[in-house]
A and B are shown apart, each in its own frame.
Chain A
Amino acid sequence: GAGVSQSPRYKVAKRGQDVALRCDPISGHVSLFWYQQALGQGPEFLTYFQNEAQLDKSGLPSDRFFAERPEGSVSTLKIQRTQQEDSAVYLCASSFGTVDYEQYFGPGTRLTVT
Chain B
Amino acid sequence: AQSVTQLGSHVSVSEGALVLLRCNYSSSVPPYLFWYVQYPNQGLQLLLKYTTGATLVKGINGFEAEFKKSETSFHLTKPSAHMSDAAEYFCAVTFYNQGGKLIFGQGTELSVKP
Which residues of A line the B interface, CB within 8 A?
A: 3-4, 31, 33, 35, 40-45, 48, 50, 55-56, 59, 91, 93, 95, 97-108
CB-based A-B contact count at 8 angstroms? 71
A59 CB to closest chain B CB, in angstroms?
Answer: 8
Query: Inside 8 A of A3's CB, which chain B residues have their CB?
Result: 43
Contact B100 A103 (CB under 8 A): yes
Contact A45 B44 (CB under 8 A): no
Which residues of B line the A interface, CB within 8 A?
A: 4, 32, 36, 41-46, 49, 51, 90, 92, 94-96, 98-107
Contact B99 A99 (CB under 8 A): yes
Contact B90 A95 (CB under 8 A): no
Q: How far is the CA of A41 from the CA of B101 in the complex (A)?
A: 17
Besides the known contacts A3-B43, A33-B100, A98-B99, 14 further A-B residue pairs in the complex with CB atoms under 8 A apart: A31-B100, A35-B104, A42-B92, A43-B90, A55-B99, A93-B44, A95-B100, A97-B100, A99-B51, A99-B100, A100-B51, A103-B100, A105-B43, A105-B45
Query: Inside 8 A of A33's CB, which chain B residues have their CB?
Result: 100-102
**In the complex, which of the residues A48, A100, A105, A106 contacts B101, with contact meaning CB atoms closer than 8 Å?**
A48
Report if A42-B100 is in contact (Cβ < 8 Å); known contacts: A100-B32, A108-B43.
no
Q: How far is the CA of A45 from the CA of B51 in the complex (A)?
A: 20
Contact A41 B107 (CB under 8 A): yes
Query: Inside 8 A of B104's CB, which chain A residues have their CB?
Result: 35, 42-44
Contact B94 A99 (CB under 8 A): yes
Q: How far is the CA of A6 from the CA of B90 in the complex (A)?
A: 21
Report if A99-B49 is in contact (Cβ < 8 Å); known contacts: A44-B104, A45-B101, A107-B43.
no
7 interchain pairs, CB-CB under 8 A: A33-B100, A42-B92, A45-B102, A45-B103, A95-B100, A98-B99, A99-B100
